[in-house]
Amino acid sequence: MIKLVGVEKTLGGQPVLRGVDLTIPEGKLTTVIGGSGSGKSVLLKHMIGLMQPDRGEIWIDGTDIAHLKGKALNEVRKKFAMLFQSAALFDSMTVFENVAFPLREKLRLKGEVVTRRVEEKLGQVGLAGMGHKFPAELSGGMRKRAGLARALVMEPEIILFDEPTTGLDPLLAKSIHDLIVAMQQQFKFTAVMVSHEIPEIFGLSDYVAMLKNGRIIEMAPSNEFVKTTDEEIREFIFVAGTVTPKGLPTASL
C-alpha cells in the first residue's frame, strides 16, 4: 500500500504540494486528475523516490521512504516501474534491447531467460515479432506499448503511469488505456495513473483522486466520484463536453 501523509514540496520558490494526504488502494487502478501545473507528476515522483518531500511521510508497504537514500531506497524501488509520457525508450537500442535492459542491468540475467521474458511481454502488449525494430521506426502508440512492456518485464508490484496517452489521437489513446486496464487486471499490480483524459478515465479507474492547490480535495471510487456535489470539481470534470462513457453524467447535468 502507498500512503502519503502531509507531503509538502516547494520548487523554485513556489509551493507545489501543500500537505498531500493520500492512500492508494493495493491491487487497484487509481487515477490522479487536476489542472495543468497542479503537481500531479511531482506527486508521482515522490511516490517512487525520485523526489524527496520538504515535509511529510511517504509510506510504501510499511516503510517511510521520505528521506531514504542509497541502497535502502533502491531496495524499495524494486517494487516499482514507471511509464513516462514519452515512453523514455533508448533510441540507440532495438525494442527488444529496451525491454531487456532492466533485466540485464538490475537482475543481471542473461541468455534464454532474458529472451523468453522479453518475448512474452512483447506478445502481451501486442508487439510480437517487433523486437528487432528501433523506436524511430514505431508509431506513437507502439512506442507506448514498448514502454509498457519494459515496465512489466520486471514484474513489479506497483506501476506508475505519467500521462500515458499524451500525444495520441483518441482511438490510440483508448487502445493504450484498454491495454493498461487489461494488464492491471491480469497481473494485479497496484497502478497509479496521472491523466488529463476527462471523462474517459472514469470508465477505466477503480478510484479517482483530484489534486488542486497542492492538496487532494477529493478521492472516491470512480462511479461515486462523478456523482460529486462539489461545484468546483463538477466544473472541472464535466468541462470536456456532453458526450461521456455509458453510465456517466453529462456536462449538462
Confidence at residue 248, expressed as pLDDT on a 0 to 100 scale:
47
- DSSP lists the bridge partners of residue 9 as 17
Domain-embedded: residue 26? yes
Confidence at residue 211, expressed as pLDDT on a 0 to 100 scale:
96
Confidence at residue 207, expressed as pLDDT on a 0 to 100 scale:
97
- Whether the Cβ atoms of residue 83 and residue 151 lie closer than 8 Å to each other: yes
How far does CA 12 lie from the centroid of its chain? 25
Q: What's the distance, Cα to Cα, between the start and end of the chain in Å?
A: 35
Total domain count, the chain: 2
Domain-embedded: residue 185? yes
Q: What residues make up the domain containing 182?
A: 1-77+172-224
E strand map for 92-200: 158-162, 190-194
Same-domain pairing of 58 and 73: yes
Domain-embedded: residue 71? yes
Domain-embedded: residue 245? no
Domain-embedded: residue 234? no
Same-domain pairing of 70 and 106: no
What average pLDDT does the structure give for the chain?
91
Confidence at residue 70, expressed as pLDDT on a 0 to 100 scale:
93
Confidence at residue 190, expressed as pLDDT on a 0 to 100 scale:
97
Whether 19 shows a pLDDT value over 80: the answer reads yes
Task: Please tell me whether the overall predicted TM-score, pTM, comes out greater than 0.75 for this model.
Answer: yes
H or E element in which residue 11 lies? strand 2-11
Q: What percent of the chain has pLDDT over 70?
A: 94
Confidence at residue 51, expressed as pLDDT on a 0 to 100 scale:
96
Domain-embedded: residue 253? no
